[in-house]
Amino acid sequence: MSILFTGKVAIVTGAGNGLGKSHALELARRGAKVVVNDLGGARDGSGGSLSAAEQVVAEIEAAGGEAMANGANVTDYAQVESMVHAARERWGSVDILVNNAGILRDKSFAKMSLEDFKLVLDVHLMGTVNCTKAVWEIMREQQYGRIVMTTSSSGLYGNFGQSNYGAAKTAVVGFMNTLCMEGEKYGIRVNCLSPTASTRMTEDVIPDSKALELLTPESVTAGLIALVAEESPNRTILCAGAGGYACTRIYETDGIYLPPEQQTGENVLQNLDAILDGEGQQEFVGGFNQTIKFVQKAAESLSVKLG
């Protein structure tokens, strides 16, 4: 099976360097027309230049592909709308959105300013929201779309000094969990990519040079291609790095039921081992599933007939 994107239009944010550049080049190599979006700022989000995006476009065109550079700031919805409009004006549609743009402002929470916390959330979370909102109605109308949110192990599992980044990266998972349901009947599939790669975002986080050699952006892009293919999954958190591919899932334990007279903080604490027991745990696909489970447990214990 060959994955091709002939006739498809893709927007890749943060595509001037690193993972975004790798994604854009591979999408173009497989036939997509690509909007190479990059503000051109430093790793902390300061500054700006279109030159990085233009260089990626030049590479794509030199290889026979079609691309356009765009310097929209993903935190500015008007700029994002203008970017989407430019893509449609030139190529007629937007079929693929890769939300990849990001910055880092790492410090322990005690030392971090609220300004730095908010800025990282604005870029990673609201930047993703803005870009997704700008293409959502287009994809609904054409009954087709592939959207990828970029999450991170720092959000899924935590990482010292990255409370802002981790909060944003977990938030996009929650965003995906709802959009994959709302978009499914319109042919829109939404997934998350959790990458680990050697880029300027990780150059001082992963000091081992041999490890960095293994953590190629291209190995992550292979996962990205699978998530935006016509045969892509829906509602998947795909983890990728150094040629390894895995899936993160969120499970809820079966838990316990306490009758009304025992529903105290003390009894919850005393029963933590049973609450944490993984036997019978489930992966839910909607928030209401939890409510149904708890109500059923209570009804069974109280011999109450439901419905």
Which residues carry out catalysis? 165
CB atoms within 10 A of CB 145: 24
CB within 8 A of 86, min separation 6: which ones?
Answer: 35, 68, 70
Closest CA to 255 of 305, 304, 292: 292
